[in-house]
Amino acid sequence: MAKPLSEQLADLSAHAKKAEDTVAAAQKETHDRIMSRWEQARDDATATTEKVNRQIESVDESIAKDWKAHKAKIAADIAALKSKVARKKRVLDARLAEEDADSLEWDASLAIDYAIAAVDQARLAVLDAVAARIQADEALRKAS
């Protein structure tokens, strides 16, 4: 494992804080600055997704099977991101822009809910890993 689970959770926390700070700042900025932040966030999301893909590809084959569903989700997220970019370029009139904003706010809300669920799942996975490590250590002590 490249990083301890506690460090991965700290990274997740830092990313969540960065998203929170970005939204707070964006609410006070011009459209051009917000779009600049959006481009940066898209670049960050793409880089993070590519990093996850590289990590998944480097995992042992037996474990990689469990990650196929996650890879499919990542691919779907990238496709959705590209679709949103294309849709954003087509939105011209005020009524469609308002509907687009409502939809994107709803999407963001779902993404936040998904992230919360992912954090809860990560916490469960970490506790499973810690419990398994404790059991393994106890078994080794008993075998000695």
pLDDT at 69: 74
Evaluate if residue 120 carries a pLDDT over 60. yes
The token pair at 42 is 């898209």
| Cα separations in angstroms, 84 against 53, 55, 74, 81, 107 | 21, 26, 15, 5, 11
Instruction: Read off the amino acid at residue 85.
Output: V
pLDDT digits 0-9 by tens, 21-69: 878 887 788 877 877 878 888 888 888 888 877 776 776 655 656 667 7
Top-ranked range on mean pLDDT: pick from 2-6, 18-22, 28-32: 18-22
What percent of the chain shows pLDDT beyond 90? 8
Residue 138: phi, psi to the nearest 5?
Answer: -65, -40
pLDDT of residue 65: 64
pLDDT value of position 70: 73
Q: Residue 129: what pLDDT?
A: 87
| Cα–Cα distance measured from residue 77 to residue 74, given in angstroms and rounded to the nearest whole number | 5
Q: pTM (2 decimals)?
A: 0.50
User: Which value, to the nearest 10 degrees, does the dihedral of the CA atoms of residues 47, 36, 79, 17 take?
Assistant: 60
Cα–Cα separations (whole angstroms), residue 86 to 6, 13, 14, 27, 78? 38, 30, 29, 23, 12
Q: How far apart are CA 97 and CA 104, in angstroms?
A: 10
- With cut-offs at 50, 70 and 90, classify the pLDDT of residue 117: confident
